[in-house]
Structure 1
């Protein structure tokens, strides 16, 4: 699955995952997949991230494991070597765009303003993460962007909840949403994988 739009369409919600302990990576991924959520964004926010990606890629073949919080060009080669099949950035520069192309890695770049959307289109991207979604204007911003920039498919991330996700997903220019509510830190710390699967099942049902 090489195209970012295909990846976005594989799950209505892309969980934004922060893993503190490598030993949690595989059971967490298995719990999400069991609930019907296959697309996983493991963020590069902890020292355990790269090893967690390696573990998930090796042990949970049903998962489409990607990496988030990519902010430096050199990270594309690192995460691809670890087994990630797509990347997500909080913003986009020409250097990051070039590095993604060089690594031949599907990228979901972060944008917040119309000018950033136009710049991303110029670098060859027509699928983007609206981030932070609520601060960027949320539903209203996406509706406004849908007129002059109708060719862009968005994954709004940041402030999206189980309650608000259906309103985002109902928009024609939204392919999926990003959310951290599927992986609450207390449930992960407790190893309550059944609770994670329940949350994933609720999220997977949002596409109807």
Structure 2
């Protein structure tokens, strides 16, 4: 990971480690939705590759928000890693662990967050070069399971539960050792107006800040 990306990634994790999962977004929506997120202090934007014209949306967001960490979700193979990199993406998120995807992302200098469910997958992902772990689906990884994983994984390693996360559920995961969260349909669904995205982005940011103060 190059120093500028490392700085942006570490700053995002320190200030508001919430990943905006914009599944279904179109390029025409990207600027307005991105503005709503940026103004609510979100700095990590993920466009899943099963969205309409995802590479164009990634390219638009990367150009508009050079201080953000922008990339793709639902990345399944090395060709997709290369395509995301060529579009200007700096983040690769997968629903699963595939060592070839992790190595390709790391070789390209990108942040890589593979999806894992078990300790075996978690350690294999680290061995392949993952920079953090997407705990997915979070519905199958309750806070008690996160606590157990955190006890055996390297302490600085980012652990981000994804799937069904709401502002009200963040405190339990944080107490168990989660580092942040990926937020999908509770933040954005296809066609959600930017004003509504802004409202929900602020609600999640406030919940995160309140959880830290509690």
Band the TM-score falls in, shorter-chain normalisation = 0.7 to 0.9
SS across alignment from 2:123: helix
Q: Which moved more, 1:126-135 or 1:9-18?
A: 9-18
Question: Which structure has more helix as a fraction of its residues?
Answer: 2
**What's the Cα RMSD here?**
2.0
SS across alignment from 1:147: helix
Match of 2:114 among 104, 109, 116: 109
Partner of 1:69: 74
1:76-96 alpha-carbon deviations (Å, 9 max, x no partner): 121111111111111122211
Aligned residues of 1:5 and 1:175 also touching (Cα < 8 A): no
What is the TM-score of this pair, normalised by structure 1?
A: 0.87
Partner of 1:51: 56
1:114-155 alpha-carbon deviations (Å, 9 max, x no partner): 1101211222335211111112x2211101112222433300
Partner of 2:29: 24
| Distance across 2 between alignment mates of 1:6 and 1:70 | 24
Partner of 2:205: 204
Q: Which has the higher contact order (CA 8 A, sep 6+)?
A: 1
| Distance across 2 between alignment mates of 1:126 and 1:12 | 14
SS across alignment from 1:155: strand
Aligned residues of 1:133 and 1:157 also touching (Cα < 8 A): yes
Aligned residues of 1:37 and 1:201 also touching (Cα < 8 A): no
Partner of 2:65: 60
Structure 1 gap ranges (5+):
none
| Distance across 1 between alignment mates of 2:16 and 2:95 | 20
| Distance across 2 between alignment mates of 1:87 and 1:126 | 10
| Distance across 2 between alignment mates of 1:162 and 1:80 | 32
1:139 partnered with 2:140:
no
Equivalent residue pairs, number: 202
1:148 partnered with 2:147:
no
SS across alignment from 1:15: strand
What is the TM-score of this pair, normalised by structure 2?
A: 0.85
Relative distance call for 1:61 and 1:6 in structure 2 (3 A) is closer
Structure 2 gap ranges (5+):
210-214
Aligned residues of 1:29 and 1:63 also touching (Cα < 8 A): no
Deviation at 1:198, TM superposition (A): 1.4
1:174 partnered with 2:178:
yes
